[in-house]
Homo-oligomer: A and B are copies of this chain.
Amino acid sequence: MSEVGAAAGSKKTPEKDAILPQKDLTHLFKAKSVAIVGASANPDKIGHQILRNLIEGGFEGDIYPINPKEKTILEKDAYPSVTDVPNFIDLVVISVNANFVMPVLKECVEKGVKHVIVITSGFSEVGNAREEQEIKDIADQFNISLVGPNTLGVVYPPNKMNTSFGPRDVILGKIAFISQSGALAIALMGWTKMEKIGLAALVSVGNKCDIGEEELISYFNEDENVDVITIYMEGIKDGRKFMQTAIKKPVVVLKVGRSQRGARAAASHTGSLAGSDQIYNAAFKQLGVLRAQSFTEAFGWARCLSLPAPDGNDTIIITNGGGIGVRTTDECVAAGIKLFDDPDWLEEKFRETMPSFGCTKNPVDITGQAPADAYQKATRIALEEDRIKAVLVLYCETVITNPLKIARSIAGEYKKSGSKKPLLVAMVGGERTREALHYLNHENIPAFDSISEVVDGLKVLYKWQEYKERKLDKPDIKPPPQEVLDIINNAKKEGKKILLEHEARKILELCGVTTPKWGYARNLEEALEIAKGMYPFAMKIVSPEIVHKTDVGGVVLNVRNEEGLKLRYNTMINHIKEVMPAAKIEGVNLIQMVKGIECIVGLSRDPQFGPAVMFGLGGVFVEVMKDVAFRIVPFGKVEATRLIHDVKGNKILDGFRGIVANKPSIIQSLLAIQRLAPYVQECDINPLISNEFGSFAVDARIILE
C-alpha cells in the first residue's frame, strides 16, 4: 500500500497500522502432535467429540488429551496440563469454560506452543471484548497463531486431522473452506460429503481475534494441497489489511449482510461491523476476489475453478437433447460465452457420432439414442480440436441409455486427454442420473443437475482468467504539492470545515484535475477584465456565509457579453445585499461554460476500507438511476479504467448525440483526486464535464476533517 493509502486510514493509531510479521500457519494444518485441553470421557462434551473425531478420523500424529481428572480417555493417555506433556506440541485445541481459557493459554506460552485453536465461546460475540483482546495480546506477544475464539475447529483432510466437533468425515479434495459461521460449516460439511465435493481444509474462524481470512489466504496460496479457496463472510475486521492480501489462487467469497437489515442481523449474530455493500463489491473486484451469491454457487464455482482455465473463447456444446441444448445456448449468450462456429468442420467430424436426424451444428445434438460410446467419440473430437477451448457436455436422461456408463466414458476420455482445457457436465434426470453426477464430481469433473450452474461455472472460469491476466496495477499516487497543504492548513486555522468553491477548484487544479477557464474577481472591474475571452461563462457569488448560492440568486449561467455581465453582476449583488444583508460578499467566480458529457467523481471514507473513490455519469444516471461504482484508494490506471467500465451507462462516454467523452482525462481525474485522500474528509467533483478536449471540474466541494 502506498504512503497515501496508509496515511489515509480510519482513526487507528500508526502502531496498529504497522503490519506484524506474518505468523507461520504450517503446523496449524500439518501438525504432528495435537493436545486437546478439555478432552472429556463424557460423550456429550465437545472436548470428547473433538478427541473422538481426531482419533477416528485417522490422525497419524501424537494425540494428548488434557484433563486433570482422567488417566486415559478413549484409550489415550491423558495429562493434567499441556506443561505436563513430555513432548513438543504443535497444536493445542482449547475447549474449556471461558474463564479458564487465559490460564490455559499461558500454559501454552510456557510450553512454547505456537498454534492454538480456542473452541470456547463467550467472548466478543456476547459483548466480552476485553478478555478477547487480552487473548489476542498474548498471541501477538508470543507469536502464537490463534484460531477463534468461538469456533467449530479446524479440519485438514490431507493430514487426516479433524479438530472439530462437527461431522467426522469429509471427502479429500482441493477446496479450502473458511467459514465465519460454525453452524453453517457443520451443515456444509454434510452437504459437501453428500455431493461428493472434496475439501482440502475447513477453518471455522469464529471471532477472528487473531487469524482471519487474510492470513489463511496467504497460507493457502502456498499450500500444495489447495487449489481454490472459498469463504463464507459476515464482515471483515480490517478492510485495509484485507486489501493487502495477495490473491494467487482463485478465492470465492460469499459475503452476507448485503442489505441493511441483513447487516443488522449479522451484527447481532457475530458482532461484525457492517460496511457498505457497494464498497465490499469494489474491494472484491479490485483485489480479484470472486463474489458468489449463495452457498451452492460458491461451491459450484469452486469446483469449476480447479479446472484448467480456457485459453480462448470458443466453446462447444455436446448434447443428447435439443431442449437442453437451446437452454444452454441461451445461457451462454447471456453469459457472453462464444460458441465455436465452423459448420463444415463440425459436420465432417461429428456426423459419424449420431444418427441421421442428429444435428452437427453447435450445440451438437447426438440425439436421445446416443449411448456411451457416442458420447466418448464426441468428447474426444471436441478435446482434440485446438480451436475448441472449452467443452460443455449435456445429458438428458432417457429410458434406453445408461447415465453412469455415459459419465464414465466422458471422464475416461477427459483423463486420457491430459485435461488441458476445461470440460464441464450437466445432467438432468432421476436417481440414476444423480449417481452419474456423483461419480463425475468424485472424479473432479464438475457436474451439475442444472444448465444455469454449468454455464455459470464456465463463466467464472473466464472471469478468473481475466483477473489473472489483468495487468498488475501499481498505484503511484504522489502526495499533493505543498501549496495544496498550505490552502488546507490555512482554511483549518480559520476554522473552515468546507472550502470555498474557488479554493476547492484551485486544489484540484494543483493535483492535476483540469478545470474550465475560471477566475476570481473581487469587484465588477476585475470581473470585466477576467471575462475577456471567456464568454460565455457562469458567475457565482463568493461569500463564506452563503452555502446554497442558488437559493439567494447567487448563480447565473450563460453570461454572453460585457453588457450582460454588467447588468447581471449588479442585479446579483443588489439582490443578495437585500436578502442576506449580513453576508460578507468577497467577490464572484467566473467559470467558462463547457459542453460535454456530465460525470461525477467523489472521494469519501468507508469505516471498513478507508478512502474510496466514486465515479458515475451525471444527470439522470446518478440522480435517478443511482448508477455509480467505487474503488478503494490507492489504485492506478488499470483499476480506474475498470471503475469507469463498472458504471452501467458507460457506453454513453463513447459518444452520444455527437459528443464523445475524453476517457484519458477522466482517468487522470480519478488518479488525481486520490492525492487528497489523507488530507480531506470528502471531495466531490460534480459535474466533471468531459468532451473531446478533456474533462473539466466545473464545480467542486471539499470537506475537511
Contact = CB atoms under 8 A, between A and B. Distances in A.
B265 A183 contact: no
A656 B265 contact: no
A432 B189 CA distance: 12
A202 to B, nearest CB: 14
A396 B262 contact: no
The list of the 9 closest CB pairs from A to B, nearest first, reads A190-B430, A269-B322, A181-B323, A259-B333, A262-B330, A183-B321, A262-B329, A184-B323, A187-B396
Given A333-B262, A450-B296, A430 B191 contact: yes
A324 interface: yes
A431 interface: yes
Contacts of A269: 322-323, 325-326, 359, 365
Interface string A522-551: 000000000000000000000000000000
Contacts of A138: none
Contacts of A183: 320-324, 368, 396, 398
A440 B293 CA distance: 25
B186 A396 contact: yes
Contacts of A23: none
Interface stretch (A65-73, A86-94, A567-575, A620-628): A620-628
A165 B400 CA distance: 10
Contacts of A262: 326-327, 329-330, 333
A501 interface: no
- A189, A232, A396, A431 — most chain B CB neighbours (10 Å): A396
A167 B430 contact: yes
A611 to B, nearest CB: 27
Nearest to A260: B333
Contacts of A693: none
Interface residues of A, number: 80
A326 B190 contact: no
A399 interface: yes
Nearest to A263: B326
Interface string A137-168: 00000000000000000000000000001110
A327 B322 CA distance: 36
Nearest to A185: B323
Interface string A279-309: 0000000000000011110000000000000
A268 B191 contact: no
B359 A268 contact: yes
Nearest to A398: B186
A239 B675 CA distance: 60
Contact of A187 (B167, B261, B329, B429): B429
A258 interface: yes
B49 A399 contact: yes
